Structure 1
């Protein structure tokens, strides 16, 4: 039997040479120092401290050494692995501190910021303009009257002297909710059909039916027509109508009221109106009301050096219809036309908004885009 190999030199094992142990240690230390985050450090940890790392494999070689050589080799490998583990722990603590500091900055909630960080919206300009118009007439002593948007055909047409064969009563102009249930007689509202109101004039009729003259009301509201939606038309729009019924009212009172309205809404002195003869079933005499152009004040007429896009250099802008209330309408509403007279006019609020603010496309008013409404602000 052979004797133990007491002369075996462990330095002859390549993995246990002092310079190899130092190289393995230094590579591990460099890898830990080069790790930029905890994920990279974890990969370096597996590579240099795991079961298949160079130092772990070198440690396995110690078992093959003779007893008197194991101590020195074990000490050399143990010191290297201790240095590696110490460097790993220090680098991990450093990277964790950096991570925690970064999280505090990136995920911080600054409670000192303004409370209104959400962009504010705006009131719809049609609402603002409608209320401004109401303010003008309330200051003159008028009342604001409202009524339902679904109306009987009698209130929407018959009471306003609009004949049964009038084109406005066709399905191509009016939204019918329910057709007439019977022939009925003159003034028979029970036999009337039901429509989406085509104007706010039924509110005037309701006002005359509900109260005694003198009567001064303004009637803003939403109305419906079977129009296609385009740059200048919409099937749902807003009107405002005015009705005054009292003793001794004349066209002069109507003209003075219109002049005051355009001065209040379009700015100061120099604003005036004119009346052009027209026909409406519910007024007699009837007229179209024009106002002087609020941009050029009529100075562009015949002046090629100063063209006006707003009025096409005509000097006037058509605003709406008006006239003295037809005696037949007063009679239908129970008002004595021999004692009382009245005047009325109406115009579209969308049209007025287009005039006042140079809005070119009516579709902008109904699409709900805050980029359109926000410039008008939150005026109350």
Structure 2
């Protein structure tokens, strides 16, 4: 049973962010019912001018700023600065992603705003945080991927490091920023006071690499690229078939026994070299040869069907288009139709968590520049 109330209904978020990491965090909150007021400079968020475009509208801006309201404020103008300060006095959350020190120079520092509004949760999202040797450095996703070690771990062993095929540093930063804000709001419900949340993209992406962290911090290792094979387990990766490729994941002895039966190599189950997951990874070339002998006579679809029938996790490789348009994505409500004044009906992503008693969908499109400026100023009596 639903009551059409989303979990963050009634929470007011003042969004000073642009590009992706900060806007992604606040979009997640807008999905859940928060009133997100996007503060834009007179020329707007840079993402309004970054493609791909449809009918003159940036698709990236639409996805990262869904469900928000827009007001243009020139923060160098005393009158507009006063509007921003007034909005902060009424807000539950403020999120900014300027370089450290910029908000303070503008007169929008955490200490000053929390003095006027003690319950304000003030979140700063930056490349390297508000402290540390790199705090003043600018950062985009590719820079953080390069500095975090993720890029060095991605790609074939004999080839050059490669970027991950999505802006993972920005997305990780946005996700952890939203998580931190929720924790601060929960704490406020007990103390009545907001907190300052300091989130760095570098920190977030490094935290998204627990297996590498275990090898470095606990085992004093130096992880290296392993291509389409898992660094620690086998058979666990992507293998070629006669037509296409398929992924398989075998992480315990029971699954390994079933896997050996499917590929027609039951003797491998009792081979001393295959006695443990660690030993199987050490002898992965032996497994790869056996898999190639079997998979070379079937298509990827046939390989997946046989493995799945035996309870072994397996999949063909889907394209991003296949995944977004799949029955699974549709059934899980990961895409919602919204009405846009220029684009008409357009499909946008929605945050992935399902909450009992709360409907999915009911989203609004991303705002036009200053689309809600008059109504937001009116709410302050300006």
Q: Normalised by the size of structure 2, how large is the TM-score?
A: 0.20
Computing the radius of gyration from Cα coordinates, the structure with the larger value is: 1
Structure possessing the higher relative contact order (Cα contacts under 8 Å, 6 or more residues apart): 2
TM-score (norm 1): 0.21
